[in-house]
Amino acid sequence: MKKNFTDLAGIEKTAIFLLMMGEEYTSKVLKKLSKEEVSDILSAMSDFEMVMPELYLDVAKEFVEKFKSKDQTIVAGDEFIHKIIDKAFDKTNAVTFLEQFKEGRRELPFTWTKNVNTNNLIMYLEDEHPQTIAMILSYMPSNISSEIFMSFPDEKKKEVSLRIAKLGNISEEVIRTVDDSMKNELNEASGTGSHIKSTSVQNLVDILGGVDKTTEDLVLESVEEENKELGNEIRQLMFLFEDLIHVDDRGMREILKKVESSILTTSLKTASEELQKKITSNLSTRAAEMLMEDLEVMGPVKLSEVEDAQQEVITAAKELEAAGTITLGSGKGEELV
């Protein structure tokens, strides 16, 4: 459960607010929403076992002015959800909606891998066929896939990356069979639901977003050698440091709040003049002057250090986008600079 107000997405704030307001109020609200909206809210509710006072007070302040509460905790769960569905819908629709809701709540394949030691996953995949590896990495959480992918020898990286990029739609039955087999062999828990569709190229982009520059270059060059058009498509989907130019001013200010000044200075060592202006225009006059002064007096820096700093800025931006705080456009070098 997320404990910080700033970490909450809009749908989670809505869920907490409705939990505070009780069954009668919530059922009336749900009657006015679409089935998709109701499903999203109930899914968010079911993720909370309890909400601490400081968190729901922050949420309440955002919904209504001068709202106060002295309750210690609010407990959610299936009982609350069942009651509000019963109140919001007639018996037939309530039963149907509950069945659909339970089906939609099934865990997605391979999400359980987040609780498994990555070395165990790497050892498991060592002897698997490259096509099987490609499928598994495509459906695993991308941060885990990236870590596993980086452990592969260069030739294996090339082969698996091409298979991921060309991976078409795979039936849910096949995915779940592999998921169950892998999970059982690793002695771990639970699986997912619904007709699942692979996004192929995007899966590879997500994986590359968490690997080092050397691995990224190796894969892109390999893909481009085999299929220039596919390589261009992948590059266009990857978010590069220079793509920050396209972030609006409000979004840029949010990003700058999350980045340490030393990291920001290093990241700008190879940045275009246009991007430097974009960033300084969203700082106070004094902060902008200090940043440019620090940049001027900075000595030679390894390009790998600059790239690491740029990656930290990109990571901060992506975290803000995932939280719904900003929107990023889509669009990334050991020598001294």
Domains and CATH numbers, the chain: 5-104 (1.10.220), 111-237 (1.10.220.30), 241-322 (1.10.220.30)
Higher pLDDT, 298 or 15: 298
Which pLDDT band holds residue 195 (cuts at 50, 70, 90)? very low
Which pLDDT band holds residue 231 (cuts at 50, 70, 90)? confident
pLDDT at 105: 52
Burial profile 209-235: b = 16 or more Cβ within 10 angstroms, e = fewer: bbbeeebbebbbebbeeeeeebbebbb
Asked whether 138 and 198 are in contact (CB, 8 A), the reply is yes
Residue 2 has pLDDT above 50, yes or no: no
Residue 196 has pLDDT above 70, yes or no: no
Average pLDDT of the chain is 77
- Rounded Cα distance, 143 and 211, in Å: 9
Higher pLDDT, 1 or 87: 87
Residue 180 has pLDDT above 50, yes or no: yes
Asked whether 216 and 208 are in contact (CB, 8 A), the reply is yes
Which pLDDT band holds residue 203 (cuts at 50, 70, 90)? confident
* For residues 51-77, average pLDDT: 56
* For residues 105-110, average pLDDT: 69
How buried is 181 (Cβ within 10 angstroms: 0-12 exposed, 13-18 middle, 19+ buried)?
A: exposed
Residue 83 has pLDDT above 80, yes or no: no
* For residues 203-229, average pLDDT: 80
Which pLDDT band holds residue 197 (cuts at 50, 70, 90)? very low
Residue 204 in tokens: 């590879």
Higher pLDDT, 275 or 199: 275
Which pLDDT band holds residue 336 (cuts at 50, 70, 90)? very low
* For residues 206-226, average pLDDT: 80
* For residues 33-50, average pLDDT: 77
Name the most confidently modeled range: 75-89, 159-173, 176-190: 159-173
Higher pLDDT, 125 or 77: 125
pLDDT at 331: 41
* For residues 124-139, average pLDDT: 88
**What's the one-letter identity of residue 250?**
R
- Rounded Cα distance, 320 and 322, in Å: 5
For residue 51, list its beta bridge partners.
Answer: 74
Residue 45 has pLDDT above 50, yes or no: yes
* For residues 318-326, average pLDDT: 84
How many percent of the chain have pLDDT more than 70?
Answer: 74
pLDDT at 334: 42
Residue 270 has pLDDT above 60, yes or no: yes
* For residues 78-100, average pLDDT: 66
1 contact partners, CB below 8 Å, separation of at least 6: 47, 48, 49, 50
Taking alpha carbons only, the member of 110, 280, 127 closest to residue 196 is 110
* For residues 254-259, average pLDDT: 94
* For residues 246-253, average pLDDT: 92
Residue 226 has pLDDT above 50, yes or no: yes
Tell me the whole-structure pTM to 2 decimals.
Answer: 0.37
Residue 165 has pLDDT above 80, yes or no: yes
**What is the C-alpha end-to-end distance of the chain, expressed in Å?**
43
pLDDT at 71: 44
